[in-house]
Amino acid sequence: MPLPHRARAAAMTALLVAGCLAASLPASAEPDLVPAAPSCIQPGPLLRYLVVFPQFTPAETADSEITEACGLTTVYYPQISVAVATSPDPGFLGRIGPQRAYSAQAESIAKRSVKRKKDDTELFRPSGVRSAEQWDMDLINAPAAHEITTGSKSVVVGVLDSGVDARHPDLAGALAPELSAGCLTGKPDTSPSAWAPTTSPHGTHVAGTIAAADDGRGTTGVAPGVRIASVKVVDDEGFIYPEYAVCGFMWAAAQQMTITNNSYFIDPYLFTCQSEPGQRVVYEAVRRAVDYATSSNVLTVAAAGNAAADLSRPGRDSMSPTNGEAQTRPVDSTCVVLPAQLKNVVGVSAVDSTKTKAGYSSYGLGAIDVTAPGGDSRSPNGCVLSTVPSGYDYSCGTSMATPHAAGVAALIASVHPEKDAVSLGRMLNAQAETLACPADYDLNRTGVQDAFCTGYSEYNSFYGHGLVDALAAVTK
């Protein structure tokens, strides 16, 4: 995804920000069947794990099992029976069970990775800044929609990302500090330093596309009248580990946010495969968190990714693990991009200024719900202009498309406050402008099609239900 994936600069202690484990325990397992742990040892390093318990496991039981396995509970989410724990004991995973827990941090150490997560966004410094340069807003009829409404302050969009600059003049009026939190331990931290951006402008760029002020200066967002919350789920190495995302979804639900914007895929696997023990844990933990958020009336909007992959028939994954040396591996229909391909998540692909699928954008019949402007450096108008901590910048990616969709959803929620999350997602699909499959998708003019669009005009693998439309969102 378009997040800065930097090389791991540091010694072993820098890896302590990683890690996650998640997996389900058989329903028949009872706490009294867990054997007493032998004496715990602490050779280090301290690793973080995400642990999945049977649904409805009491907090006391979960904490007891973690303690007996020589771990310490950081946080337990009883609503989904998922815990985040730490342990310096190398036997922790074996005692808890590899079918129940996973640590991306431990996997990174085992691979002795010095690789940084690749940044697949494109940034270009603009010569000037004004709303007239925002071709993306014109493409989805945002200025016309603003004549009717700019959105309601009762609508809150959680920006699950690398942090949002609270001092940016275009965002200061929209940001809700009291609803913001950092999730880099797996447990919400409400201190401002925990949710502020540090090494990446990505979250601030996303936030500006959603809600930058309509004040005649700088840039204007899709829904400048709504509020945003900064929920930091990207660490300083550019990774989004599962416990970060689980924390983000649970925090959004607890704060009764309306929508979350998720411009990322969950590391360390581009495709998380349910047939693999550790990855199955990750899938289950994230699925539970997203389902809980949906049941709490939080709509999840997520980027399809920049791998130019057919998500319905991925075939191979050559990008994983992102925190180690990537190996090409076969992937099947049980392997999905998280969170974009989960049920109740609105998956978003990207188009350029000509309403053509951007070459980098992933796609797939059944995986894409809507499309939105993500830009393309090869297209006539280039990338998308938005806010960054240093001012303004252009960037391309499905990360840029997703906040357009989230912003349109926020406008729908503003004029239809009675709608729940599922209804809001359906309305987002329904208002979209139909885009048919292109007759010719030879972007490089080589005589060979660069991708194959399947489906029909009203619903296809490139554009889903179509291009989000801000004006239709507030009038239909």
The vertex-366 CA angle with 202 and 464, nearest 5°, equals: 65
Cβ proximity of 71 and 96 under 8 Å: yes
Place of tokens 């796609």: 363
Q: What is the residue type of 243?
A: E
Measured in degrees and rounded to the nearest 5, phi and psi for residue 84 equal: -115, 130
CA 453, 316, 324: angle at the middle one, nearest 5? 130
**204-220: string of b/e by CB count within 10 Å (b at 16+)?**
bbbbbbbbbbbeeebbb
How many helices (DSSP H) and strands (DSSP E) are in the chain?
A: 12, 20
Angle between helical axes of 421-430 and 277-295 (0-180°, round to 10): 90
d(CA 397, CA 374): 5
**Would you say 46 and 132 are in contact if contact means Cβ atoms under 8 Å apart?**
no
In contact, 44 and 88? CB cutoff 8 Å: yes
Are 316 and 368 in contact, with CB atoms under 8 Å apart? no
Helix, strand, coil abundance in the chain, percent, nearest 5: 25, 20, 55
- CA-CA distance, 194 to 192, in Å (whole number)? 5
Dihedral of CA atoms 8, 10, 16, 17 in degrees, nearest 10, equals -50
Is the Cα torsion angle 146, 152, 158, 161 positive or negative in sign?
Answer: positive
**CA dihedral sign, ordered 197, 347, 377, 218:** negative
> CA-to-CA distance for 151 and 369, rounded, in angstroms?
23
Residue 454: Cβ-neighbour burial (10 angstroms; 0-12, 13-18, 19+): middle
Q: Per DSSP, what are the bridge partners of residue 228?
A: 157, 175
DSSP-H helix ranges across 329-381: none
* Residues annotated as catalytic (active site), given as ranges: 161, 202, 399
Structure tokens at 468: 């989000």
Residues 6+ apart with CB under 8 A from 84: 20, 48, 49, 50, 51, 73, 74, 75, 76, 185, 186, 187, 243, 246, 247
